[in-house]
Chains A and B, each alone.
Chain A
């Protein structure tokens, strides 16, 4: 939740009303309902599925709606090796996502190309997409992915949402 300065709340005066800044409210709505678009390419996709399954439950953080449609999702989790053949498709799908959007590069292959230093592998998805959070691991444990999601949530809560909305008008 926000810090003391975000919420001015005195139950005797306000009662059931919480007074806060628009920024904080918008960011709070956004970060607690980040709908991921799983770009599950290789082995990290299996750990992504395990994170979505019952033991590590990504649903606790509001992100269980794994929308495979880019138009309905907020964060793209690039899980797995991005080859040059696939790079154009990944970029196209990223372009189809609506603002605001974020990217988590999950695993070593998505972050830097991983152990595949070869002619066919894109050395890091940040060559074609702006990445917000990198997750290390091959594959990263589900706990690491959840940590990345929480880091992304912290990042989202710091965004100047109102200023961006006014700018885009």
Chain B
């Protein structure tokens, strides 16, 4: 940064006869004697660039941030308390609305946690597991598309936002055909899925994959070697490796700093061990690295979905256990045993054994974990949601000081958090 030019004032008093001529000092000397106060700027809960309701109280020294205090909780809806009053199946719609950019991934993570507690996660039929992986990866593409779109829009490139939203609309179409809703899907159930793939879905998915790769390439052309984008994001918001681990970051934020921790590889679940994909790692840990990690993750997700669609087996989609999964309707209306199962499942919920587990899944935002402490019965005694965005945001108070005000949008966009998940 070049030093400000010296500006010489001519002291008006020196024009008067008899006054000693003042030495012509520079502005910097004059300013040096002024004790500055830092200005407090409130980047309030309602702000276009904060990706939801996040409040940051900034203390500014000119344009430089000297202290930043993020304040969360403006979207705290009491999910964990609600979970103690709902059966496990009734809580699935609430998991949609945690990270509302990738609801399918949240659904999968939650039911995997409950299934782990019940001990039936080894009995999931292969078709169910393949479909769940396809859902997770579609959600990952959807979330990263919006993350990059909003990041670019905040940094100034408005076109990218509209481009990525077009692709997201195609994912919404796929979700709508599969689950009935554009997002807020509530698709998975304990022991399986709500319904099977509709006819023609696999072809539509393949067609979409072909188109999304074109769109990712276009976004890459617009942003990756763009001089302005690089200037705004390179060496901005650098999170060193040790800081990333110490602050518990996860997902692309952690991998952007060079830490190889992808739960799909380190603690694999579903059929990820059989799939062939690579984990994108950054080197420096700045905003540009995190953006590149997300772009590469999208490409790897496309690769994963292609493999899953090629290998998709036929078969049932639910665990064959009447006490876990709702029996087919025609049996309920005719046979006694299924009627009793249906009644028990709907009124009392799935009977989960007492115990406690923690299950963490690699969501697009990071590690979404569910800690369930159960005392038996159909409702959890305590359900804790380990939210990646909550943990990712805690690094802000350490990361922001020293940057300029204009860097805040770049850093917030690159951290890619969602307040629905942060505040639960």
A interface list, Cβ under 8 A from B? 39-43, 45-47, 49-50, 53-55, 68, 80-81, 83, 85-86, 89-90, 93, 115-121, 138-139, 141
Residues of B close to A90: CB separation below 8 A: 46
> Size band of the B side of the interface?
20 to 34
- What CA separation (Å) do A81 and B97 show in the bound complex? 11
- The verdict on B165 contacting chain A, using a C-beta distance below 8 Å, is yes
Some 24 contacts from A to B, beta carbons below 8 A apart, are A41-B74, A41-B75, A42-B52, A42-B419, A43-B97, A43-B100, A43-B183, A43-B184, A45-B52, A46-B101, A53-B162, A68-B47, A83-B76, A85-B73, A86-B53, A89-B46, A89-B74, A115-B94, A116-B78, A117-B82, A118-B77, A119-B81, A138-B184, A139-B182
Residues of B close to A40: CB separation below 8 A: 52
Residues of B close to A141: CB separation below 8 A: 182
CB distance from A58 to the nearest CB of B (A): 13
- What CA separation (Å) do A81 and B165 show in the bound complex? 23
Taking CB atoms and an 8 Å cut-off, the chain B residues in 383-424 that contact chain A are: 419-420
B53 engages A54 (CB within 8 Å): no
CB distance from A145 to the nearest CB of B (A): 12
A83 engages B82 (CB within 8 Å): no
- What CA separation (Å) do A90 and B184 show in the bound complex? 25
A141 (CB) vs chain B CBs: closest residue: B182
B78 engages A68 (CB within 8 Å): no
A81 engages B77 (CB within 8 Å): yes
A49 engages B165 (CB within 8 Å): yes
A119 engages B78 (CB within 8 Å): yes
Residues of A close to B44: CB separation below 8 A: 89
B165 engages A54 (CB within 8 Å): yes
- The verdict on B48 contacting chain A, using a C-beta distance below 8 Å, is yes
Residues of A close to B321: CB separation below 8 A: none
B interface list, Cβ under 8 A from A? 44-48, 52-53, 73-78, 81-82, 93-94, 97, 100-101, 146, 161-162, 165-166, 168-169, 172, 182-184, 419-420
Since A41-B74, A42-B100, A81-B75 are in contact, a sample of 4 more A-B pairs with Cβ atoms closer than 8 Å, ordered by chain A residue number, is A50-B172, A53-B165, A90-B46, A139-B184
- What CA separation (Å) do A80 and B97 show in the bound complex? 11
- What CA separation (Å) do A139 and B48 show in the bound complex? 20
Residues of A close to B48: CB separation below 8 A: 68
CB distance from A81 to the nearest CB of B (A): 6
A50 engages B420 (CB within 8 Å): no
Residues of A close to B169: CB separation below 8 A: 50, 53, 55
Known interface pairs A42-B52, A43-B420; A120-B77 also in contact (CB < 8 Å): yes
B75 engages A86 (CB within 8 Å): yes
CB distance from A60 to the nearest CB of B (A): 15
Residues of A close to B166: CB separation below 8 A: 53-55
Residues of B close to A47: CB separation below 8 A: 182
Known interface pairs A50-B169, A115-B94; A120-B52 also in contact (CB < 8 Å): no
CB distance from A51 to the nearest CB of B (A): 10
Residues of A close to B419: CB separation below 8 A: 42
B165 engages A116 (CB within 8 Å): no
CB distance from A89 to the nearest CB of B (A): 5
Residues of B close to A42: CB separation below 8 A: 52, 75, 97, 100, 419-420
A89 engages B97 (CB within 8 Å): no
B52 engages A41 (CB within 8 Å): yes
Residues of A close to B73: CB separation below 8 A: 83, 85
A86 engages B45 (CB within 8 Å): yes
